Structure 1
Amino acid sequence: MGFSFFYKKKERPFLVLDVGTEAVKVLACRKENNKTVILGAATQYFERYGVFNGQDFAAEIIKKAILKAIAGAEQDFIIYSERAKMPALVTLPPDVLRAEIIEQTFRQKDSKKKIARKEEKIILEQVFKGAQEGISQTFFKKFGILPKDINWISFNILNIKVDGYSVRWVQGYNGRELKFKILVIFSPKYYFESAQKILESLKLRVSKIIHLTEVLPVVFGEKISDGIFIDVGGRISQIFLIKNEELMQFRELEKGGEIFTQKLSETLGIDIESARIFKEKYASKQLSPESEQRIREIFLKEKRTWYESLDIFSSPIFLFGGASLLPEIRETPGESKVFYPKDLSNIEDTTNKINVPQYTPSLLIAQFYGKEILRHNSSSR
């Protein structure tokens, strides 16, 4: 899937639909010159946990949450009548929309012959096929999912080397060994098709299904060329290593804010929703010092589990996502900083709602799309 259409002059508004493991975030945006203007924003939590666990893809619960989030954004900006016309950028939960970085090597028989355009196409087809096979084998061993049950979404070349020298493309070069670093976005077919049906039923004009690995180097690279970025989600956190504006590594950590919510629920004997609200008040310093101290004691084991699972020894570390405000996560060892929406440049928030790092991933996607609009309009002049 690619960006299906762009607009010049005054851009048509677009939607960002960020579906996580716990909640749905919706932004209604417009690109105005170099700024991304936020016209509407809303968050809606799922009515129950685990809607994406195993084979339990609770379509009606997910659809209901998306509709409520869109309705919340509509209170700021009337988008209902325009919804079918507006491009929508969609990201799905990390266990539904997957990303892997894989390296592939292609060896030429004639190292002195320059690579023509037709040969480049054949080479890329072979390395992409090799990437598919490598990921399929790993995925089958880990989850038991067959290659035929994987939906391949995109292949993005991060780096190419010809006999050890970095190049932007292979056409016109000669050499023996061609090395490719490839970012592959894919999804288990069952989950992906279920998500597609939900989006179609909502009459959303999906412009692109997008993963944060595609977004971060483009948006952050200009401002922060090196660092570790952690999107602290509900059940799954995503860790990105960027060096010299290039995505070097990516991995998922099957831990996030949910372990703290569950601990509060079990210890205090309250339901999950009440525990989540209590946790958020603790994270935003709305509790008394005595209550804060009590929760810190409750979270001691979970804090240690988080640190040990993280296994990061370099810095700087930039944290964002719904659970990044928890002291137990903010105090991640090393030079760590919570990345707020206000830390992003060229954002105009007309709603005064997006002041928490829970919205940072959605804003990154909005800015990425804005950059694509500018790039497309510049190249078409």
Structure 2
Amino acid sequence: MFHLLNPKKYQNWGIALDIGTAFVKAVVFEVKNGVANIKGFGFQRQRLSDMHGGVVTDIAGVVENSESALEMAAKDAGVLPYQIVMGIAGELVKGTTTTVKYQRENPKINITIEELKEIVNKIQDKSFSQAKTALVAETGHQEMDIKLVNTAIVDVRIDDYKVTNPVGFQGKTIEIGVYNAFAPNIHLSALQTIAEQLEFDLLSVAAEPYAVARAVAEEEAVDFSAIILDIGGGTSDIAIVSNGGVEGTKMFGMGGRSFTKSIADKLNIPFSQAEQLKIDYSNHQLEEGEKKSQIKDAIKDNIDVWMMGVKLMLEDFTNLDLFPSKILLCGGGSLLPEIKEILEIEKWHNIPFAKKPKVSFLHPNNIAKINDEKKLLENPQDVTPLALVNVAIDLIGSDTIIESVKSKIKGSLRR
């Protein structure tokens, strides 16, 4: 790894590193006037033994792959910055929005950031207990150590009046919805170790479904609502946005690799060959014939299982009376034609949609505050690394720690 000789000159530059099950993707960018200008992009395919279900299983292997992706991005950009933001995914990342009502003793006193922080801390304590209970139930490990990954205020109402920033208002009742994402410490520490071995300054680790939902909602209207499905190599991540705020995130361990394995088994070919056939099929580059028919049959065997996983995750959002009637797809796995088709024909029994949901794709131009003049990232599978860039905008180039903290608080209040 080579690094800048004059870091101060490049304090407004950063790297987003998306460590996925199938690929490591690196984006080099420069922040100017609150917009991230994309300067370089690189990627490297992961070995089957490097990751499983969105979780690092071989740190040395992932470091090697990350170096290759970073070198490619640095050649594009001409520089390699020292500040980095990384994403975390996997079935054991738990994200939910908790809403509480708080009665103020003196409604005529202005609301302060300190008062908000006290309320948020109480909510986080409650969310922490809920997340740990859920993870213990899933894994059976009573002593599991979990850490907070992301927190954001997604909804604030003062005396039933919705506000975007409550600081300075007066009122008797504050109702606050706070999104919190937690993950096992072993997964977070693996990412921290990777950043240390790459010799970067790790600014933040972001829950990827939250990052995507936040970045898309920021670009849309205040009342934006949607279900976002990010289908990667090892997991499918679901985020629900309601009226501009993230309601929650869920993940389950089935992604593109499951379909590749089905193709490999069906055609009795190596995994790498099956992966290339799947990509060609997804890009409509296979001619009609026996092989294409066999691939369709192999995918058909798994698509119903995947759909069942989606419905089970949606049913877990018990706090929603009605689901958004818009489904947005991203991630490399979403390009399989059967994914969009099954979502469009699904009857959605037991899931309360106001009307039949419309299914479409997310593209990089749907991500807020991004300028990609070189058109380096143009496909649905590039949405997640750009969402991590969006997360980094408020963190890159702050002159002081206090300024960075203030920026994060303001960003949280906006969402």
TM-score, structure 2 normalization = 0.76
Superposed CA deviations along residues 191-226 of structure 1, whole A, max 9, x for unmatched, are: 211221121010012222122314523443333622
Worse overlay, 359-368 or 229-238:
359-368
- What do you get for the CA RMSD once the two structures are aligned? 3.5
1:245 — aligned with what? 244
2:365 matches 1:355: no
Aligned partners of 1:356 and 1:249: how far apart in 2?
Answer: 25
In the TM superposition, 1:66-215 aligns within 5 A as 66-79=66-79, 82-83=80-81, 86-95=82-91, 98-105=93-100, 108=103, 110=105, 114=109, 117=112, 120-146=116-142, 149-162=145-158, 164-167=160-163, 168-169=165-166, 173-175=170-172, 178-212=174-208, 213-215=210-212
Paired residues of 1:11 and 1:32 also in contact (CA < 8 A): no
Paired residues of 2:16 and 2:28 also in contact (CA < 8 A): yes
Distance change in 2, residues 1:113/1:148 (3 Å): farther
SS at match of 1:41: strand
Paired residues of 1:51 and 1:61 also in contact (CA < 8 A): no
2:269 — aligned with what? 270
| Identity across matched positions, percent | 21
Shift of 1:109: 8.4
2:27 — aligned with what? 27
Size of the aligned set, in residue pairs, is 366
Distance change in 2, residues 1:374/1:188 (3 Å): closer
Aligned partners of 1:200 and 1:42: how far apart in 2?
Answer: 20
2:323 matches 1:316: no
1:221 — aligned with what? 218
Aligned partners of 1:243 and 1:161: how far apart in 2?
Answer: 15
Paired residues of 1:162 and 1:170 also in contact (CA < 8 A): no
> Could you tell me which amino acid in structure 2 is paired with residue 220 of structure 1?
A
Distance change in 2, residues 1:58/1:373 (3 Å): closer
Distance change in 2, residues 1:296/1:266 (3 Å): same
> Could you tell me which amino acid in structure 2 is paired with residue 221 of structure 1?
E
Distance change in 2, residues 1:179/1:135 (3 Å): farther
Query: Which residue, 351, 369, 379 being the options, matches 2:392?
Result: 369
Shift of 1:90: 1.0
Distance change in 2, residues 1:116/1:356 (3 Å): closer
> Could you tell me which amino acid in structure 1 is paired with residue 95 of structure 2?
E
2:360 — aligned with what? 337
Shift of 1:227: 1.8
> Could you tell me which amino acid in structure 2 is paired with residue 105 of structure 1?
V
> Could you tell me which amino acid in structure 2 is paired with residue 306 of structure 1?
W
Paired residues of 2:213 and 2:240 also in contact (CA < 8 A): no
1:43 — aligned with what? 43
Distance change in 2, residues 1:137/1:339 (3 Å): same
Shift of 1:247: 1.6
Aligned partners of 2:54 and 2:20: how far apart in 1?
Answer: 15
Paired residues of 2:12 and 2:397 also in contact (CA < 8 A): no
Aligned partners of 1:141 and 1:222: how far apart in 2?
Answer: 37
> Could you tell me which amino acid in structure 1 is paired with residue 123 of structure 2?
V
Superposed CA deviations along residues 37-69 of structure 1, whole A, max 9, x for unmatched, are: 322212212122463469973111111111111
Superposed CA deviations along residues 79-103 of structure 1, whole A, max 9, x for unmatched, are: 3xx44xx32111123346x241142
Paired residues of 1:106 and 1:127 also in contact (CA < 8 A): no
TM-score, structure 1 normalization = 0.82
Aligned partners of 1:38 and 1:120: how far apart in 2?
Answer: 35
Shift of 1:106: 5.5
Worse overlay, 307-316 or 361-370:
307-316
Shift of 1:356: 2.3
Paired residues of 1:18 and 1:362 also in contact (CA < 8 A): yes
SS at match of 2:334: coil
Worse overlay, 237-246 or 258-267:
237-246
Where do 5+ consecutive residues of structure 2 fail to align?
1-6, 315-322, 345-356, 408-415
